[in-house]
Structure 1
Amino acid sequence: MVNAHNIPSTSKNDSWHGPAIGLLDLDAFFASVEQLDHPQWRGKPVIVGGAADKRGVVSTASYEARTFGVHSAMPSAQARRLCPHAIWTPGHFDRYREMSQKVMACIFDETPLIEQVSIDEAFFDITPGRYSKESPKTICERIQQRVSQLGITCSIGLGTNKTIAKIASERKKPCGLYVVYPQDSIAFLAPLPVKAMSGIGKTAEEKLHHLGIFTLGQLAQADTATIMREFGSFGSTMLLRAAGQETSTVAPFLQKDEPKSISSERTFAHDLSSPTEIYAAIDHVAELTAERLRAKHYAGHTITLKVKFDFAQQKTVQTQLFSHTNSQSVLARTAKELLHKVWKEGMPIRLLGIGVSELSGAAATQLSLFDASVTDTSVKQKDSLDKQKLAETYDQLRKRFGSQALAYGHDLRFSDYTTDTKQSGGKGSLS
């Protein structure tokens, strides 16, 4: 149920004029689902993540575990030291996706304007008069009540734009509803530190502090020319957001259902350092990504390689092909070319990831520049089609008999070499 005391009473009534944007954030989502499915775990510290002895990472920690200082993205070894009596689980992501879809259906019953930004978070537009004449606050209360009937809880922030909704959603967690009425927007934002705004990371924060700007109110009144000089085109966005004047558009749910990218990544239980090991790992991750592309009937032509050298240091590099692909061999070759832009022999590698974006619905792998060594066009086409048929046969066999029934050599090599930390889909992506 909604905690009524979590709703600020800065306005005398519930009248609302102008846009109304909400941000729903599921509370400790993965851990909450585990506690729902395992009643004996309720009230106890639960951690969803990879094993500490395999360089795992915490995906989600229940609020009981958070009281010990455990948080998401923390190394599992550190989490185990902080909360040695916690209940650990590697996660059940099919179950989480199922619950996420049920939550989104609760919102969809109120408005078709939903923008799901992650498995546990979504913006929605409930501007009065667009689909309902009810108070936006009343609609948010009803959404929270319906989510609670599923056995989990959510926090909602409500404001005139995405920036305000996002910040407000974090003010009364868990199970809170924080409403910022249109007339209160400026007063709400002004005293907040600049880092409260989405898009302002540590580097931008330090730069603003150097300019003598510490709060969003100060940023809103800052010299436009100075901000534009320091932050380029993003400067104008910062100024609008800080002043509460951002105009937010929430696209219809069905339009946001298409992924912007598809990727896979693996964290290795032991650092990789030799070219042989690293190339084999790239082959392995490339196959994981290619299989996901083919399963979704997508191909893409922007390839991104992610390399993590230790827990705090990582680099990404990308390139574009002249044609779309979902071929493992093309992804692997491209990633190996990109590798040498960020890695030198001897540097240990902890994690590798390969992503494909600018997707199209083309299911067949297209010829790429990497086939240029074959000069005869007919030979190129036959080679490409043969590889595609082989890949499709491989997918069908694995789907029919299980993922362990058939594997390439590079997959077998790394079956016991990766951590058991699970990855979930990020914003607009399947990962």
Structure 2
Amino acid sequence: MRKIVHVDMDAFYASVEQRDAPELRGRPLVVAWRGARSVVCAASYEARRFGVRSAMPAVRAERLCPDAVFVPPDFTRYRAVSRQVREIFRRHTDLVEPLSLDEAYLDVTENKLGLASATDVATEIRRQIRDELKLTASAGIAPNKFLAKIASDWNKPDGQFVIKPAQVSAFLTALPVGRIPGVGKVMDAKLEALGIRTVGQLRELERPVLEARFGRYGGRLYELARGVDEHPVVPDRPVQSISSEDTLAEDQPLAALAPLIERLAQKTWEASRKTSRVPRTVVLKLKTGDFRNLTRSLTPSTPPDSAAVLAQIALALCNRVDLPESTRYRLVGVGLGNFHEPGDAESQSGLFLDEQSPD
């Protein structure tokens, strides 16, 4: 049985800013550029008390918390601190799977320091982060990644929570289904239509029923409802997607976005040349003026082999946006996904499922 720790830095960007500028400590802090087009990158816990959250429009954050201090993000500094955090992780295990700059999974089934338990490892990691970096982190300890990630959010900030194998079933029974990875607003509404609000209620449905209604993800729901997650911690995970996006100075109609889509395609293509893996899928991302997110994707029979081809496919995906011509868009993105190794003969031709959901 694995021993998995999920470490999540507390309000990472905002905490780095407060650490490095003592005058900001204890004050509501928003990491974002000011302006009508900006979104919140991070918010200190002082700002969160006013309802400020990441990905919120900056103008709304300012309305919710007029006294907040706005600081522009410094990703170069955040990446440097993230590397220091990962150095601490690797003192304990080489099985570290970063999810972003501020969180990672660690497999500590065997740990380098010979500590007695995964709980001890998590405690020591958090102590080292606090003492050496003057930051705080929260941790979840569990038999698998799914449970560890849920647990890391249980005693935030600056806390940790353990789900022991014998506690899994009881812990999950009353858990809202919205806490399951992949259950967003759309899936949550579908489950609610079935009268399912808790994992315990979800557990009452058999695998064939869930798979018939939700396809492959139905099988995943069946397993997670029982606390089953066999995915290992994978260090240095191969690239799966690359994208570029831009927020417009003013909302624009879809017909006016072609030049920007071409520039983003060029930027994404250049970034994709840094890996030897080959992308199968082209993704067009749009956000409307009222913050509704849409994605359109296509997996052609032959992977795109140039920036021009990538741009051509992305522009063609615009034809599958079925909103009124009067709709205005504030953000555009072009991405490549579904990467595979060169020489992989497996083909996945055909159209990928559209996703159309509000922000």
TM over 0.5: yes
Query: 1:160·1:181 contact (CA, 8 Å) conserved in 2?
Result: yes
Q: Cα 1:242–1:298, aligned 2, differ >3 Å: closer, same or farther?
A: closer
The letter for the 1-side match of 2:308 is: S
Counterpart in the other structure of 1:49:
32
Do residues 305 (structure 1) and 291 (structure 2) align?
Answer: no
What is the alpha-carbon distance in structure 2 between the residues aligned to residue 354 and residue 297 of structure 1? 20
Instruction: Please report how far the alpha carbon of residue 282 of structure 1 lies from its aligned counterpart in structure 2 after TM superposition.
Output: 1.4
Q: Cα 1:145–1:316, aligned 2, differ >3 Å: closer, same or farther?
A: same
Instruction: Please report how far the alpha carbon of residue 205 of structure 1 lies from its aligned counterpart in structure 2 after TM superposition.
Output: 2.3
What is the alpha-carbon distance in structure 1 between the residues aligned to residue 69 and residue 276 of structure 2? 38
The letter for the 2-side match of 1:264 is: S
Instruction: Choose 1 or 2 for highest CA Rg.
Output: 1
Deviation per CA, 1:64-98, whole angstroms, max 9, x where unpaired? 11111100111111100111121112201111111
5+ residue gaps in structure 1? Answer: 1-17, 363-431
What is the alpha-carbon distance in structure 1 between the residues aligned to residue 321 and residue 223 of structure 2? 36
Deviation per CA, 1:331-359, whole angstroms, max 9, x where unpaired? 32222121122166443121110112244
What is the alpha-carbon distance in structure 2 between the residues aligned to residue 56 and residue 129 of structure 1? 43
SS for the counterpart of 1:300 is coil
Q: Cα 1:130–1:108, aligned 2, differ >3 Å: closer, same or farther?
A: closer
What is the alpha-carbon distance in structure 1 between the residues aligned to residue 181 and residue 270 of structure 2? 34
* Aligned counterpart in structure 2 of residue 210 of structure 1, from 170, 189, 193: 193
Q: Cα 1:241–1:359, aligned 2, differ >3 Å: closer, same or farther?
A: closer
Q: Cα 1:242–1:333, aligned 2, differ >3 Å: closer, same or farther?
A: same
Counterpart in the other structure of 2:354:
none
SS for the counterpart of 1:22 is strand
Q: Tell me the TM-score normalized by structure 1.
A: 0.73
Root-mean-square deviation over aligned CA pairs? 2.4
SS for the counterpart of 2:93 is coil
Query: 2:206·2:222 contact (CA, 8 Å) conserved in 1?
Result: no
* Aligned counterpart in structure 2 of residue 125 of structure 1, from 84, 107, 112: 107
Instruction: Please report how far the alpha carbon of residue 283 of structure 1 lies from its aligned counterpart in structure 2 after TM superposition.
Output: 2.4
Counterpart in the other structure of 1:241:
224
Query: 2:92·2:112 contact (CA, 8 Å) conserved in 1?
Result: no
| Percent of residue pairs identical | 37
* Aligned counterpart in structure 2 of residue 152 of structure 1, from 110, 135, 146: 135
SS for the counterpart of 2:335 is strand
Do residues 97 (structure 1) and 79 (structure 2) align?
Answer: yes
Counterpart in the other structure of 1:115:
97
SS for the counterpart of 2:257 is helix
Do residues 352 (structure 1) and 332 (structure 2) align?
Answer: yes
Instruction: Please report how far the alpha carbon of residue 130 of structure 1 lies from its aligned counterpart in structure 2 after TM superposition.
Output: 9.4
What is the alpha-carbon distance in structure 2 between the residues aligned to residue 225 and residue 328 of structure 1? 43
Do residues 266 (structure 1) and 246 (structure 2) align?
Answer: yes
Instruction: Please report how far the alpha carbon of residue 265 of structure 1 lies from its aligned counterpart in structure 2 after TM superposition.
Output: 0.3
Counterpart in the other structure of 1:69:
51
Out of 297-306 and 139-148, give the one that drifted further: 297-306
Deviation per CA, 1:286-316, whole angstroms, max 9, x where unpaired? 2332343346677634221111123432221
Higher relative contact order (CA 8 A, sep 6+): 1
Deviation per CA, 1:108-139, whole angstroms, max 9, x where unpaired? 22111121112211111112589946211101
What is the alpha-carbon distance in structure 2 between the residues aligned to residue 42 and residue 282 of structure 1? 41
Q: Cα 1:196–1:341, aligned 2, differ >3 Å: closer, same or farther?
A: same
Do residues 330 (structure 1) and 313 (structure 2) align?
Answer: no
Instruction: Please report how far the alpha carbon of residue 209 of structure 1 lies from its aligned counterpart in structure 2 after TM superposition.
Output: 2.7
What is the alpha-carbon distance in structure 2 between the residues aligned to residue 161 and residue 227 of structure 1? 22
Q: Cα 1:204–1:283, aligned 2, differ >3 Å: closer, same or farther?
A: closer
Q: Cα 1:359–1:186, aligned 2, differ >3 Å: closer, same or farther?
A: closer
Do residues 318 (structure 1) and 297 (structure 2) align?
Answer: yes
Q: Tell me the TM-score normalized by structure 2.
A: 0.87
What is the alpha-carbon distance in structure 2 between the residues aligned to residue 164 and residue 353 of structure 1? 32
What is the alpha-carbon distance in structure 1 between the residues aligned to residue 61 and residue 285 of structure 2? 25
Do residues 340 (structure 1) and 319 (structure 2) align?
Answer: yes
SS for the counterpart of 2:279 is strand
Query: 1:128·1:135 contact (CA, 8 Å) conserved in 2?
Result: no
Q: Cα 1:228–1:331, aligned 2, differ >3 Å: closer, same or farther?
A: closer
Q: Cα 1:311–1:122, aligned 2, differ >3 Å: closer, same or farther?
A: farther
Query: 2:93·2:110 contact (CA, 8 Å) conserved in 1?
Result: no
What is the alpha-carbon distance in structure 1 between the residues aligned to residue 240 and residue 232 of structure 2? 18
Instruction: Please report how far the alpha carbon of residue 210 of structure 1 lies from its aligned counterpart in structure 2 after TM superposition.
Output: 2.9
Deviation per CA, 1:31-81, whole angstroms, max 9, x where unpaired? 11111222221111111123233x211111011111111001111111001
The letter for the 1-side match of 2:196 is: I
Counterpart in the other structure of 2:265:
286
Counterpart in the other structure of 1:36:
19
What is the alpha-carbon distance in structure 2 between the residues aligned to residue 295 and residue 245 of structure 1? 36
Q: Cα 1:244–1:37, aligned 2, differ >3 Å: closer, same or farther?
A: same
Instruction: Please report how far the alpha carbon of residue 164 of structure 1 lies from its aligned counterpart in structure 2 after TM superposition.
Output: 1.2
5+ residue gaps in structure 2? Answer: 343-359
